Amino acid sequence: MYSLINWVIETLNATALSGFIMGSAWVFPMLEMLHFFGLCLLFGSLLIVDLRVIGLAPRVPVSQVEVFVRITLVGFAINLITGTLFLIGDSDRYLVNIAFWLKMGVIALAALNTAWFVRRIRPQIQAGFEGSELSADARFIAGASLVFWTAVIVLGRMIPYVEE
C-alpha cells in the first residue's frame, strides 16, 4: 500500500497542474479562499436546514428549506473542486496524513447520510409536512449531518498540524 501511495504522489507531483498550483504565489491561497467560501455556503445553509428539521427555528417553514439545500450543493461543489486541486498540488501533504483520510471517511458517512435525507426526509418536506409532523428519522438524520460536517471542519483544520 505504501508504494502505491508513493507512486500516486510522484505521479501527481509530476503533473503540470501540480506545478502550476504549487509554483505560483497566488494559486494556493486563492484556492484556500474559495474553499473557505464553499465551506461557508455548505455549512451555513446546512445549519439552517438541519436546525429547522430538528425542530429549532420553528418560524421558518420547512417547505422553504429547499432553497438552502441547493446552496449547500453549490458549496459542496466548490469544495470538491478546490479540495481536488489541493490534493493534486500538494499530494505529499495529504495522501500520507491521517487527518486527511479521516476527513475523507467522515465525508463518505456524510454522503450516505445525505442520501438517506434525500430518500426519506425530502419527500416528507415536499409533501408539506411541518415541524412535529416530520419523522423521528428526520431529526436523527439532521443531527447526524451536523455532527459529520462539524467533524469534517475539525479534521480539515487538523491536516496542516498532523504529520504522517
Q: Quote the number of domains for the chain.
A: 1
Domain interval for residue 60:
2-161
Give the integer Cα–Cα distance in Å for 74 and 70: 6
pTM exceeds 0.85, yes or no? yes
At 27, list the grid cell.
Answer: 494559486
**Is there a contact between 54 and 143 (Cβ–Cβ < 8 Å)?**
yes
Nearest to 31 by CA among 92, 108, 95, 89: 89
Residues composing the chain: 164
Q: What is the mean pLDDT of residues 3-29?
A: 93
Give the integer Cα–Cα distance in Å for 101 and 152: 11
pLDDT tens digit sequence for 62-107: 777 878 888 999 999 999 999 999 999 999 999 999 999 999 999 9
Q: Which pLDDT belongs to residue 60?
A: 78
Q: Which pLDDT belongs to residue 112?
A: 96
The fraction of the chain above a pLDDT of 70, given in percent, is 95
**Is there a contact between 102 and 30 (Cβ–Cβ < 8 Å)?**
no
